Amino acid sequence: MCEHHHATRHTLCMQCDLLVALPELRHCHKATCPRCGTTLTTEWDEPRARPTAYALVALFMLLLSNLFPFVNMKVAGVTSEVTLLEIPGVMFSEDYASLGTFFLLFVQLVPAFCLVTILLLVNRVKMSLSLKTFLARVLFQLKTWGMAEIFLAGVLVSFVKLMAYGDVGIGSSFIPWCLFCLLQLRTFQCVDRLWLWDDIAPAPLPATPLRVGVPGIRQGLRCCPCCAAVVAADNPICPRCHTKGYIRRRNSLQWTLALLVTSILLYLPANILPIMITDLLGDRMPSTILAGVILLWSEGSYPVALVIFIASIMVPTLKMIAIAWLCWDAKGHGKRDSERMHLIYEIVEFVGRWSMIDVFVIAVLSALVRMGGLMNIYPAMGALMFALVVIITMFAAMTFDPRLSWDREPESSHEES
């Protein structure tokens, strides 16, 4: 009966390669993969009006948060005040242009670009089909690199760190920034990937009959990595978005392992070199990641010490171990437990970006703590190394093809009857 399924839309799960027939969904309901539980599509109310409204308000909030002072600090009568744009500005002037660029990109430019792109695509602004597919492609690739909310968490952590030295306060831009973080997350949430691509161009129909509940690799089908269309495996170019793709990511394991080794090599200097230098009355004290955690702990800020410990030390270490384990498992070693491997992959994908929090803390501290001869904080080499570790492990997780863990599953465990 599988050959004569009446559902109009089919999709291959991007995570486990199972062919799923999508049912007609009621509003605000989502369809999940029966094998791995990944959300395949969500049917939103008002798929155009909602993201438009959220994105417009979010962009307005972003504008407001760049116009006024963001945070301020008072120590012994000396006041220091910074705007959002001054934070990367300080990094540029301190010879850490790379960190400043990361900051500008991840915190402001990527989220702003994604919001504008969503506005253009969702409202069917007149432009050529090739431009539309290009924008949609970039949109979904850039999504994970927007880190506005992680920066916000970094600001809160730096408040706790600075309370020991003086009075910290928020400026008029702080509340707009919080709203911006919330609204941009909500905008992304309301845009369904399958819906958006179907809206740009109808999904191509593969010539062969589809067998629901069977992995694509066993029926000569592949999922387009960009627009999620079901494409014949021997066709390297997707007919809808013209992205090149193969049945499995090419040299996935080699790429992942190469990036993993690079990140491990950078992880050593990131932990040994100081991440920032505190200049207190002319006394320069370098501090490493671990020293920062110990200092917070000894000051009694246990929750924040824990947050930094988990984000900066535990998560990167576990992430590297998890990626290595995934590669080892995908090569055919280990017990065949695809579900557990999948869970690990999901966690690694989700938490990886949050390690960036310590880099943002340093960015805020070094911009805000400029108290003349009293106290100054400067970024140091370890911060750049650590940022690179986070970025490279994110790439390592992205180059890993999660379907490799599922390919070894015995056949027909999920076939519909």
Q: Does 224 bind Zn ion (CB under 5 A)?
A: yes
Sequence-distant (6+) residues with CB within 8 A of 48 are 122, 123
Q: Does 361 bind Zn ion (CB under 5 A)?
A: no
The identity of residue 180, as a single letter, is F
In whole angstroms, how close is the CB of 312 to Zn ion at the nearest point?
Answer: 32
In whole angstroms, how close is the CB of 16 to Zn ion at the nearest point?
Answer: 3
Contact call for residues 74 and 166 (beta carbons, < 8 A): yes
Alpha helices in 44-173 (DSSP H): 49-67, 86-93, 97-103, 110-122, 129-142, 148-162
| Residue of 135, 238, 257, 390 interacting with Zn ion (CB under 5 A) | 238
Nearer to Zn ion, 18 or 157 (CB): 18
CB atoms < 10 A from the CB of 354, how many? 19
The identity of residue 402, as a single letter, is P
Which span sits near Zn ion by CB under 5 A: 78-86, 173-181, 207-215, 236-244? 236-244
In whole angstroms, how close is the CB of 127 to Zn ion at the nearest point?
Answer: 18
In whole angstroms, how close is the CB of 257 to Zn ion at the nearest point?
Answer: 24
In 3D space, the residue among 277, 308, 278 whose CA is nearest the CA of residue 294 turns out to be 308
What is the dihedral sign for C-alpha 264, 266, 272, 275? negative
Window 26-55: residues binding Zn ion (CB under 5 A)? 33, 35-36, 38
In whole angstroms, how close is the CB of 15 to Zn ion at the nearest point?
Answer: 5
| Residue of 10, 132, 161, 240 interacting with Zn ion (CB under 5 A) | 240
What is the spatial distance between Cα 285 and Cα 273, in angstroms, rounded to a whole number? 12
The DSSP H or E segment spanning 376 is: strand 375-379
Q: What is the DSSP letter of 279?
A: E
CB atoms < 10 A from the CB of 303, how many? 10
In whole angstroms, how close is the CB of 139 to Zn ion at the nearest point?
Answer: 14
Nearer to Zn ion, 194 or 389 (CB): 194
What is the spatial distance between Cα 390 and Cα 99, in angstroms, rounded to a whole number? 13
**Strand 69-75 to strand 39-42: parallel, antiparallel, or no bridges (unpaired)?**
unpaired
Which span sits near Zn ion by CB under 5 A: 98-106, 138-146, 229-237, 293-301? 229-237
Nearer to Zn ion, 249 or 370 (CB): 249
Q: Which residues pair with 223 in a beta bridge?
A: 230
Which span sits near Zn ion by CB under 5 A: 16-24, 113-121, 207-215, 347-355? 16-24
| Residue of 71, 112, 114, 226 interacting with Zn ion (CB under 5 A) | 226
Nearer to Zn ion, 35 or 193 (CB): 35
Give φ, ψ of 277 to 5 degrees: -120, 125
How many CA atoms within 13 Å lie on the side-chain side of 137? 16
Window 274-293: residues binding Zn ion (CB under 5 A)? none
In 3D space, the residue among 205, 238, 233, 207 whose CA is nearest the CA of residue 221 turns out to be 233
Which span sits near Zn ion by CB under 5 A: 12-20, 47-55, 187-195, 382-390? 12-20
Nearer to Zn ion, 10 or 370 (CB): 10
| Residue of 15, 187, 252, 288 interacting with Zn ion (CB under 5 A) | 15
Window 242-271: residues binding Zn ion (CB under 5 A)? 243
Residue spans of beta strands (DSSP E) within 38-141: 39-42, 69-75, 78-83
Q: Does 121 bind Zn ion (CB under 5 A)?
A: no
**Site of interaction with Zn ion (CB under 5 A):** 13, 15-16, 18, 33, 35-36, 38, 224, 226-227, 229, 238, 240-241, 243
